Every structure is written in C-alpha cells, then in structure tokens.
C-alpha cells in the first residue's frame, strides 16, 4: 500500500521542495484520476492536482479522498483548475514556498519526471518559474514503489487475467466450431469484441500470428488465413480498473513435426525452470540466465532474442525488468512475466508467457491456462 512517506522520500533525498509528476499511470496510482494533467507533491506531503477545463469535472469525480482505495487520510487531493498551464502551475507552486515560509537554506528546487516531460515542457516550466526555481530531473522514482502490489491491485490484475483468458478461449472455440476460414486479423477482432462485451479492453495491441509469421516476436496480425493444421501464437491481455494482464500461448491445431515439438519443450522447460527459482532475494539477471542457459543447452540460444520478462501493472511494461543486466533483487509483492521464446525465421516461433506474483516462499502463477501441452484441444477442454 502506498504511504505518504514513499512520496516524500525522493523529495527529501534530493533536498527539494516538491515533486512535479506528469506520467498518467503515476498520477492514477496516487489519486485514482485517469485523465490528463500534472500532480504536485510538496515536501510536507500535500498533494495538488492541476487540470484544465476539459478535465475539471472528471477530476472531481475520480480523485478520491481519505479512506477511498485503501489510501490513508494523508491522501486528500486538492484540485486546482488552470487556464495558462505552465504559468498557473508555477505561480501556485511558488505560492506554496511562501506559505510554508521557505527560509532560503537552499534555492527552491522541484523534482520533475524527466522521462515523461518533453523538452518544450521543461523550457516552458523553467520560464514560468522565472528561473527562480531549480528543476531537478527524477528518473522513475515511483516505479519501484509501484512494483509492489497490494491486495486490491493483485485482485484487479487477476480479474484482468480472467477476462482475457475467457475472451481468448471463446474466440478460439468460435473460430474452430464455425467450420469457416478465419484469419489472424479476424480472430484478433473477435477477441477485442469479447473484451468489450466484458467491459474491458486490450492492454496492448493483440498479437495473433500463424505458421511462419509466428517467428516475428512482435509481428502484427495479417489477413492471412490460419491453417487448421498449423501453428498459432496468441499474445493477449486485458484491463480491469486500469490494471493490465499479459499472457502468450503457442498452439498447434494439427500434428506437429519433431522440430516444433522439440522447440516447444525447450521453451516450456526453460520457463518452468526459471519460475521455480523465483523467490525474494534472487537477482533478476539470474532468472534470465536460468532460462537462457537451458535454451542454449538445447541448441536454440541464438534464437532467444529478448529479455525473459517484465513487470505488469498500470503499464503493460514496467519495473521490474527481467533481463541479464538487472542486478536488482526480487521482492515479495512484485508481479512480472516469465516469457522465454525461440524464433526460427522462415519457419515458426514459440513463446510461452505467464504472469507470476512473488510470495514469501516463491512464485504464484496467476495466469491460469496450462501450457504443458501445445494442442489447442487441450486448452479448450
């Protein structure tokens, strides 16, 4: 659960007077407001949301107070409407310095989310502050805080998983039961329709690739008809209350050859080996190495061309990143994917992706489709 001290810490750490936040997911995480605007957190923990006229009513409706959403009483949100965005925000923040009696121990400084501010925004704020405030770049200060999910967040993610899996399985059933020809784009469209019917939406652009197309890790669905005796890679996700899911199945509709079976077994075994090693304290790079070494041993190492996984929450790709240079350690409460893949250009690709929630003694796999078998009939039972 987010604590007000989590927001104050980076401010005090940089000897600043406040933190100006722009990233929509970070603003939602703190306020539950899902529109556009800026958020300012003062060194004393007071929170101000700045919105223009387009979002004023929405902000009042969504920005929750006190006990809502499990936030503490310290999370009351002051909403201020702005007309001249940079000028009005700078004036209000400057007034806060005066109101708290800044004793000029240091030049007033404000952290800002540098990865999300354009250069033009930076210059505009600098000008609006009349160069009297030092703007200090902050690189993803909130992402590690967001990586630890509370019980409400986990329930939203699990609901998104349930919606996505129900939609994908029913889309496959309908395509197969119809007896008609269906394309990659057609089955993707059917999946999207089912999400809408479940009051949800895609958490990213759905990937549906068949046969040779499946060798593209992030290819786009085409009008290519799906072979009822061929391969289908389906990478899909949904949303619930802003929280996302991400899962991939690779299926075979007919009788696979020995090579496909061998690649699938290599990828599945590598994934299971990595998942079995997840627990608090393990380094992310070691998880990546576990899967990568296994696939290398099976002879497909050079065809595993991406990282092992990534965090999922309000963003589809967020901290933590599970790759070979991340020496950070796994912590209880994190949610991330484990998704090794092997891609043989001109032939086929296999990716198997599940989401894991880190518990005290290991990983809880929170995606439900069993992937030991690649036969479509097995997952549709």
What is the per-residue pLDDT across 178-237, written as a single tens digit (0 to 9) for each?
Answer: 888 899 999 999 999 999 999 999 999 999 999 999 999 999 999 999 999 999 999 999
Question: 69 pLDDT exceeds 80?
Answer: no
Q: Band the pLDDT of 140: cuts 50, 70, 90.
A: confident
Q: What is the average pLDDT across 7-25? A: 93
What percent of the chain has pLDDT above 70? Answer: 94
**CB-based contact 206:194 (threshold 8 Å):** no
What percent of the chain has pLDDT above 90? Answer: 86
Neighbour-count burial of 103, counting CB atoms closer than 10 A to its CB (0-12 exposed, 13-18 middle, 19+ buried): exposed
**CB-based contact 283:328 (threshold 8 Å):** yes
Q: What is the mean pLDDT of the chain?
A: 93
Question: 56 pLDDT exceeds 50?
Answer: yes
CA angle 244, 354, 344 (to 5 degrees): 115
Q: Band the pLDDT of 82: cuts 50, 70, 90.
A: very high
Write the class of the CATH domain 4-146.
alpha beta
According to DSSP, the β-strands at 134-138 and 109-113 are parallel
Q: Band the pLDDT of 66: cuts 50, 70, 90.
A: very low
Q: What gap in Å lies between CA 116 and CA 24, rounded to an integer?
A: 9
**CB-based contact 334:358 (threshold 8 Å):** yes
Q: Which residues contact 101 (CB under 8 A, 6 or more apart)?
A: none
Q: Band the pLDDT of 38: cuts 50, 70, 90.
A: very high
The helix or strand, by DSSP H or E, that contains position 354, with its residue range, turns out to be: strand 354-359
Q: Band the pLDDT of 379: cuts 50, 70, 90.
A: very high
- Listed range (91-100, 132-141, 209-218, 297-306) with the worst mean pLDDT: 91-100
**CB-based contact 277:113 (threshold 8 Å):** no
Q: What gap in Å lies between CA 232 and CA 221, rounded to an integer?
A: 11
- Per-domain residue ranges for the chain? 4-146, 151-379
pLDDT single digits (tens) 163-179 = 999 999 999 999 998 88
pLDDT single digits (tens) 229-281 = 999 999 999 999 999 999 999 999 999 999 999 999 999 999 999 999 999 99
Q: What gap in Å lies between CA 240 and CA 160, rounded to an integer?
A: 5
Can you read off the two tokens belonging to residue 300?
A: 């497909």
Q: Can you name the CATH fold of 151-379?
A: Creatine Amidinohydrolase (3.90.230)
Q: Band the pLDDT of 104: cuts 50, 70, 90.
A: very low
CA angle 170, 176, 178 (to 5 degrees): 100
């Amino acid at each position: 659960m987010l604590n007000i001290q989590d927001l104050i810490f980076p401010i005090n750490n940089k000897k600043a007077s406040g933190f100006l936040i722009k990233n929509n997911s970070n603003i939602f995480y703190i306020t539950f407001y899902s529109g556009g605007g800026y958020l300012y957190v003062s060194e004393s923990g007071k929170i101000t949301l700045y919105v223009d006229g387009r979002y004023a009513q929405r902000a009042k409706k969504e920005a929750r107070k006190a006990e809502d959403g499990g936030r503490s009483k310290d999370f009351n949100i002051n909403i201020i409407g702005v007309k001249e965005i940079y000028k009005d925000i700078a004036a209000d923040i400057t007034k806060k310095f005066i109101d708290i009696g800044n004793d000029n121990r240091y030049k007033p400084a404000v952290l800002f989310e540098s990865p999300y501010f354009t250069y033009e925004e930076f210059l505009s704020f600098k000008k609006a502050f009349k160069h009297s405030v030092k703007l200090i770049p902050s690189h993803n200060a909130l992402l590690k805080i967001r990586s630890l999910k509370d019980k409400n967040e986990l329930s939203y993610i699990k609901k998104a998983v349930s919606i996505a899996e129900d939609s994908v399985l029913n889309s496959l059933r309908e395509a197969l039961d119809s007896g008609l020809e269906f394309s990659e784009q057609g089955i993707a469209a059917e999946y999207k329709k089912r999400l809408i019917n479940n009051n949800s939406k895609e958490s990213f652009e759905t990937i549906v690739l068949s046969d040779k197309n499946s060798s593209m890790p992030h290819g786009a669905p085409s009008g290519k008809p799906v072979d009822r005796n061929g391969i289908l890679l389906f990478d899909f996700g949904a949303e619930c209350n802003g929280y996302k899911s991400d899962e991939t199945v690779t299926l075979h509709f007919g009788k696979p050859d020995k090579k496909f079976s061998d690649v699938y077994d290599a990828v599945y075994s590598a994934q299971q080996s990595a998942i079995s090693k997840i627990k608090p304290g393990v380094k992310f790079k070691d998880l990546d190495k576990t899967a990568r070494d296994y696939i290398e041993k099976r002879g497909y190492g050079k065809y595993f061309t991406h990282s092992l996984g990534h965090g999922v929450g309000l963003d589809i790709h967020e901290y933590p990143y599970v790759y070979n240079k991340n020496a950070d350690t796994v912590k209880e409460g994190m949610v991330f994917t484990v998704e090794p893949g092997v891609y043989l250009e001109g032939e086929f690709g296999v990716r198997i992706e599940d989401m894991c929630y880190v518990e005290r003694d290991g990983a809880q796999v929170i995606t439900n489709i069993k992937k030991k078998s690649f036969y479509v009939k097995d997952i549709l039972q």
